[in-house]
Amino acid sequence: MRFFRAPLIAKMLFPSGIWKGKETDSIYLTFDDGPNPDVTPWVLDLLKQFDIKATFFLVGRNVQEYPELLDRIISEGHQIGNHTMNHECGTKTSLHSYISSVSKVDTHIKSDLFRPPYGKVTSNQFKKLIESGRKIVFWSWLSYDFDKNISPQKIIQKASEIKGGDILVFHDSKKAFPNLKNSLAEIIEQLIGRGFEFKTL
């Protein structure tokens, strides 16, 4: 079963994580796993078309390979965040290796925002990251754009449940692109039509 809205139990495990944005009349659009040369430019073009800003949680190895995309994200006024060096799953990675991976990204981007891949992080990893001054960002609505068993129409339908202050997760990855390109514009139009502004974290 897919929970488009973050379950309460997850928020209870990490109450000091960021689960929603500060302003209830705004939506916080985020993208994970980029930058990707086949997808990120399309996303940036769409955001420019609607004149809205988003927050990109970037994988270090991708930034290393496509620095020009990082430059474009920043130059167009979007926010950036750390998403580990190699997209490690926290619950399958030792404390030392995980913290080391996060730290390596600091050589490529400057941001105190961090989102754990898969939303999975151990309590010790979480504590260390908080102690190092990072703001750990989760989400309140997940698009499941990466899931081939979910159609763009389903994602659009579930977007009707989005509320003010929600942090939305999409992915600028090749895997997610079929769903992304057939749902994102319509969802943005819906949310603008409902009177929401888009802000960065």
- Positions annotated as catalytic residues are 32, 171
Give φ, ψ of 55 to 5 degrees. -115, 130
Question: Which of 54, 61, 66 shows the shortest CA–CA distance to 171?
Answer: 54
What does 157-200 look like in DSSP terms, one character per residue? HHGGG--TTBEEEEE-STTTHHHHHTTHHHHHHHHHHTT-EE--
Give φ, ψ of 7 to 5 degrees. -70, 150
Coil vs helix vs strand at 78: coil
Q: Which two tokens stand for residue 180?
A: 């992304």
Give φ, ψ of 154 to 5 degrees. -65, -40
